[in-house]
A and B are shown apart, each in its own frame.
Chain A
């Protein structure tokens, strides 16, 4: 596809890095010359220095032949204006809009201004945080097959039924589940039958949405429901999380330093408790009885504050600590800190937009339905749509000659997840979930040796 990306910030860069791999021709536009130079040096894209709201600049980027325009500058107004201008041509438009005032008018923008997608990073991230609060035992939840299958990442507790056992000896415990990825002592691999699970390992499993509860009960992971959460920092993310949780019976308390912001939040939220105080002050947190909370989200302005706070809270909070980290790049550094869950609105934005691009490309002949880069890009989980003429069709999986380090983790047929065994065959119309350590696949044929 021909795609124009306006804004080369963190989100723009992340988008470009994903989209160039998938056979898209990308032109980036930014007013900052250095940012453009950086992106066009790293990736095979065309860079244009200029303001994306100018039609002259857009036509220089060949908007006439573009399939999609993605506006992710740091200004909502610029993003909207770019899209409105680009709408003069036939291309699809995606805008990042973060101000809650505009977000409420999503439908208006879509209907009246013809925008194809409006993405609010903090809102998307808040949905993810809420999901994590719902599955407190999981470190990460990725969804496949439009939400029918989940890839759950969790740490094996010491008293688990899995501990000390080899995969091939597991019987009814892993019914309807497939262990796809194991992390042990900092190394990542796709385990075979001889792999012995140890306490403290982090496993990723593919599981049917309905049977995940039973699975975790069988293997002895606590699946208690969360009753109350502490949101530290009155950021937009915290606001949206509180808003989403208003409809559940989870109690929410927000701690925010700035009194004016507290009042603003109190205006907008019905049920949440709002406390004016310094969330990075440990004395204050003790006074607020941090140890009585089941879950916490650290979402202050500085990444560093959030990370340190999460380390402090790690053994005081019962189930779940989520850390808001906006610098996508530092993920590699902090993954060794054993923080529970890390959430980054910027990466989520990029991922969501990439999903949308893929969905559009699907209509144009590409086969990737979903692609997740897991564990800092070391592992990829992909979902492919299977065409009738694909060479994998009709052959029992045990007879397929696959490349190394590839696992067919699931077959989704008519909306149901099948955990595949050696006898199963792939049929046309299925979608197949593949987990791999070799990255860069774009078609189901790529997995064959």
Chain B
């Protein structure tokens, strides 16, 4: 009795009923998407389909009932936006993990949760020793979670949600990566639609290219999901190592395309090529890729049979790591340490803001570098006034400070997680790269968590820490932190 009264007081300051309403929408949508693995099971005649079917039905019924009752007050302010985003991702993961455990394919619920969080956050870190042992339905659901998580579930729901006020922007901002989320068109709904249209078009393009490259349709669809969301779940134990040369090139190019800021594609479709090709972030992103590919290719030339293979391996791995996808064709854990260091650096830089990729984001790195140069120049000439610019426009100082704060929080989470994971007793390189690979939503790290290994060896506590890191990384830390910040739950 006492507890229930307290619960009521906790929520009084927040628009709980609106959060409830949005969560119900999420549950309903997730239920509908769970029907997709049912169809796959139907095609392959797998009995696990019935589990997906019943679970989907349950989600749809609960979500449908809840989303019929629209609250009177529909405002979502910044605080509620962040809390909603975090809760949406938690609920999705808790529900999405269940079929794995019910079907017995991943017996431990914590492991299943790790797997699906890794899916939704587009990390691609697995606890499965034998991926090929899963049913097609589960493989599909695992890969599909990448696709849904890549662009974001809230962004998807914003296309449908019958609400018209500033609230939607607060939701979109909470889920989308980047220091400054902006709209393409005046309405959030329209912006969400454009994003999903670009996303769908690129995905279909990749699927078709892979089919033309004679890939089996099931592999093609799962690899497309993995690439589009920059996730990294494969369907084979060897990830992408056994695919043909053409298929590897295709995957590499599409990975890099999905790591580009989507406003680039929007500008292209709006016939503003001049502005599009002047986007600082996209140019730096491509420059980093070229530089890293050349350096790694030179460094690893003695490891491979020919020039082509060296180039292909370097391109694939650089594309896979900087976009935080995490596919692999070669075991880069065996590469020389200079190349490995480059890859670890790429892990921390990450893809462009406004893409489906994770990591620290290229634009933030650009801002920090420019901010450093500005600092240096004030030592030479203390009275000099300089503003930090992005794409030729002055950035508000508030945003620059925001990026700096983000860096600090990012490093703190990184350090704390490494410390906590080290309790399990593995080597520093393993722990460091495990945290780097989950916080940046990449997947494989080095050593014990390298491309040929997996995360099964960690204890339950470390898995929880890494699950937290994956969610924090996908939602860019603050939405997850605000859930744990006591004043959020104060009445006023």
CB within 8 Å of B: which residues of A?
Answer: 2, 20-21, 25-27, 33, 40-46, 62
The answer on a CB contact under 8 Å between A25 and B165 is no
A32 CB, min distance to chain B CBs, angstroms: 13
Chain B residues with Cβ below 8 Å from A41 are 166, 169-170
CB within 8 Å of A: which residues of B?
Answer: 164-166, 168-170, 183, 185-190, 396
The answer on a CB contact under 8 Å between A44 and B168 is yes
B192 CB, min distance to chain A CBs, angstroms: 11
The answer on a CB contact under 8 Å between A44 and B396 is no
How long is the Cα–Cα vector from A43 to B189 in the complex, in angstroms?
A: 13
Task: Return the contact of A33 from the options B187, B190, B396 (Cβ within 8 A).
Answer: B396
The answer on a CB contact under 8 Å between A21 and B169 is no
Nearest-neighbor residue (CB-CB) of B77 within chain A = A41
The answer on a CB contact under 8 Å between B190 and A25 is yes
The answer on a CB contact under 8 Å between B165 and A43 is yes
Chain A residues with Cβ below 8 Å from B170 are 41
B122 CB, min distance to chain A CBs, angstroms: 27
Chain B residues with Cβ below 8 Å from A43 are 165-166
Main secondary structure of the interface of A (DSSP, over half): mixed
The answer on a CB contact under 8 Å between A44 and B185 is no
Chain A residues with Cβ below 8 Å from B190 are 25
How long is the Cα–Cα vector from A383 to B190 in the complex, in angstroms?
A: 29
Chain B residues with Cβ below 8 Å from A44 are 164-166, 168-169, 186-189
How long is the Cα–Cα vector from A44 to B166 in the complex, in angstroms?
A: 5
How long is the Cα–Cα vector from A104 to B378 in the complex, in angstroms?
A: 55
How long is the Cα–Cα vector from A224 to B378 in the complex, in angstroms?
A: 76
How long is the Cα–Cα vector from A46 to B164 in the complex, in angstroms?
A: 14
Which 5 A-B pairs rank lowest in CB-CB distance, beginning with the nearest? A25-B186, A46-B186, A42-B166, A43-B166, A46-B183
A394 CB, min distance to chain B CBs, angstroms: 29
How long is the Cα–Cα vector from A195 to B170 in the complex, in angstroms?
A: 44
The answer on a CB contact under 8 Å between A27 and B396 is no
How long is the Cα–Cα vector from A42 to B77 in the complex, in angstroms?
A: 9
Task: Return the contact of A26 from the options B169, B186, B188 (Cβ within 8 A).
Answer: B186
The answer on a CB contact under 8 Å between B165 and A42 is yes
Nearest-neighbor residue (CB-CB) of B78 within chain A = A41
The answer on a CB contact under 8 Å between A45 and B186 is yes
How long is the Cα–Cα vector from A20 to B188 in the complex, in angstroms?
A: 12
Chain B residues with Cβ below 8 Å from A2 are 186
A17 CB, min distance to chain B CBs, angstroms: 9
A27 CB, min distance to chain B CBs, angstroms: 5
The answer on a CB contact under 8 Å between B396 and A25 is no
A68 CB, min distance to chain B CBs, angstroms: 13
B32 CB, min distance to chain A CBs, angstroms: 25
Nearest-neighbor residue (CB-CB) of B191 within chain A = A46
B171 CB, min distance to chain A CBs, angstroms: 11
How long is the Cα–Cα vector from A212 to B165 in the complex, in angstroms?
A: 39
How long is the Cα–Cα vector from A45 to B188 in the complex, in angstroms?
A: 8
How long is the Cα–Cα vector from A40 to B78 in the complex, in angstroms?
A: 13
A20 with B169, Cβ < 8 A, contacts A25-B186, A33-B396, A44-B186 known? no
Chain A residues with Cβ below 8 Å from B187 are 25, 44
The answer on a CB contact under 8 Å between B185 and A20 is no
How long is the Cα–Cα vector from A314 to B188 in the complex, in angstroms?
A: 48
How long is the Cα–Cα vector from A26 to B164 in the complex, in angstroms?
A: 12
A169 CB, min distance to chain B CBs, angstroms: 35
Chain A residues with Cβ below 8 Å from B166 are 40-44
A231 CB, min distance to chain B CBs, angstroms: 40
How long is the Cα–Cα vector from A2 to B188 in the complex, in angstroms?
A: 14
B407 CB, min distance to chain A CBs, angstroms: 23
The answer on a CB contact under 8 Å between A20 and B183 is no
Interface centre among B168, B185, B188, B189, by most chain A C-beta atoms within 10 angstroms, is: B185
Q: What are 12 A-B pairs at a CB distance below 8 A?
A: A2-B186, A20-B164, A25-B186, A40-B166, A41-B166, A42-B165, A42-B166, A44-B164, A44-B165, A44-B166, A44-B188, A45-B186
The answer on a CB contact under 8 Å between A40 and B165 is no
A120 CB, min distance to chain B CBs, angstroms: 28
The answer on a CB contact under 8 Å between A25 and B185 is yes
Chain A residues with Cβ below 8 Å from B168 are 44
A46 with B396, Cβ < 8 A, contacts A20-B164, A40-B169, A41-B166 known? no
The answer on a CB contact under 8 Å between A46 and B165 is no
How long is the Cα–Cα vector from A428 to B270 in the complex, in angstroms?
A: 42
Chain A residues with Cβ below 8 Å from B169 are 40-41, 44
B269 CB, min distance to chain A CBs, angstroms: 13
How long is the Cα–Cα vector from A20 to B166 in the complex, in angstroms?
A: 10
How long is the Cα–Cα vector from A23 to B189 in the complex, in angstroms?
A: 12
How long is the Cα–Cα vector from A46 to B186 in the complex, in angstroms?
A: 4
How long is the Cα–Cα vector from A301 to B183 in the complex, in angstroms?
A: 40
How long is the Cα–Cα vector from A26 to B183 in the complex, in angstroms?
A: 12
B396 CB, min distance to chain A CBs, angstroms: 7
How long is the Cα–Cα vector from A42 to B164 in the complex, in angstroms?
A: 10
How long is the Cα–Cα vector from A20 to B164 in the complex, in angstroms?
A: 7
The answer on a CB contact under 8 Å between A20 and B165 is yes
A203 CB, min distance to chain B CBs, angstroms: 27
Chain A residues with Cβ below 8 Å from B164 are 20-21, 44
Interface centre among A26, A27, A43, by most chain B C-beta atoms within 10 angstroms, is: A43
B319 CB, min distance to chain A CBs, angstroms: 33
How long is the Cα–Cα vector from A44 to B189 in the complex, in angstroms?
A: 9
How long is the Cα–Cα vector from A121 to B183 in the complex, in angstroms?
A: 32
Chain A residues with Cβ below 8 Å from B188 are 44
Chain B residues with Cβ below 8 Å from A40 are 166, 169
B264 CB, min distance to chain A CBs, angstroms: 17
How long is the Cα–Cα vector from A20 to B169 in the complex, in angstroms?
A: 14
How long is the Cα–Cα vector from A40 to B165 in the complex, in angstroms?
A: 10
A52 CB, min distance to chain B CBs, angstroms: 16
Nearest-neighbor residue (CB-CB) of A440 within chain B = B164
Nearest-neighbor residue (CB-CB) of B184 within chain A = A46
Given contacts A44-B166, A44-B169, 9 further A-B contacts (CB under 8 A): A2-B186, A20-B164, A20-B165, A33-B396, A41-B169, A44-B164, A46-B183, A46-B185, A62-B185
Chain A residues with Cβ below 8 Å from B186 are 2, 25-27, 44-46
Chain B residues with Cβ below 8 Å from A42 are 165-166
Interface centre among A21, A33, A42, A44, by most chain B C-beta atoms within 10 angstroms, is: A44
Chain A residues with Cβ below 8 Å from B189 are 44
B210 CB, min distance to chain A CBs, angstroms: 36
How long is the Cα–Cα vector from A26 to B186 in the complex, in angstroms?
A: 6
Chain B residues with Cβ below 8 Å from A33 are 396
Chain B residues with Cβ below 8 Å from A21 are 164
How long is the Cα–Cα vector from A62 to B190 in the complex, in angstroms?
A: 14
How long is the Cα–Cα vector from A21 to B165 in the complex, in angstroms?
A: 8
Chain A residues with Cβ below 8 Å from B396 are 33
Chain B residues with Cβ below 8 Å from A27 are 186
Chain A residues with Cβ below 8 Å from B185 are 25, 46, 62
How long is the Cα–Cα vector from A247 to B190 in the complex, in angstroms?
A: 52
How long is the Cα–Cα vector from A41 to B181 in the complex, in angstroms?
A: 12
Nearest-neighbor residue (CB-CB) of B168 within chain A = A44
How long is the Cα–Cα vector from A393 to B186 in the complex, in angstroms?
A: 36
Nearest-neighbor residue (CB-CB) of A39 within chain B = B166
Nearest-neighbor residue (CB-CB) of B188 within chain A = A44
Chain A residues with Cβ below 8 Å from B183 are 46
Nearest-neighbor residue (CB-CB) of B72 within chain A = A438
How long is the Cα–Cα vector from A27 to B189 in the complex, in angstroms?
A: 14
A163 CB, min distance to chain B CBs, angstroms: 35
How long is the Cα–Cα vector from A40 to B168 in the complex, in angstroms?
A: 11
How long is the Cα–Cα vector from A26 to B166 in the complex, in angstroms?
A: 12
Nearest-neighbor residue (CB-CB) of B275 within chain A = A60
Interface centre among B170, B186, B188, by most chain A C-beta atoms within 10 angstroms, is: B186
B190 CB, min distance to chain A CBs, angstroms: 7
Nearest-neighbor residue (CB-CB) of A4 within chain B = B186
B242 CB, min distance to chain A CBs, angstroms: 47
B43 CB, min distance to chain A CBs, angstroms: 41
How long is the Cα–Cα vector from A40 to B169 in the complex, in angstroms?
A: 8
Chain B residues with Cβ below 8 Å from A25 are 185-187, 190
How long is the Cα–Cα vector from A41 to B182 in the complex, in angstroms?
A: 12
Nearest-neighbor residue (CB-CB) of B167 within chain A = A44
How long is the Cα–Cα vector from A33 to B399 in the complex, in angstroms?
A: 13
Nearest-neighbor residue (CB-CB) of A23 within chain B = B164
How long is the Cα–Cα vector from A40 to B187 in the complex, in angstroms?
A: 10
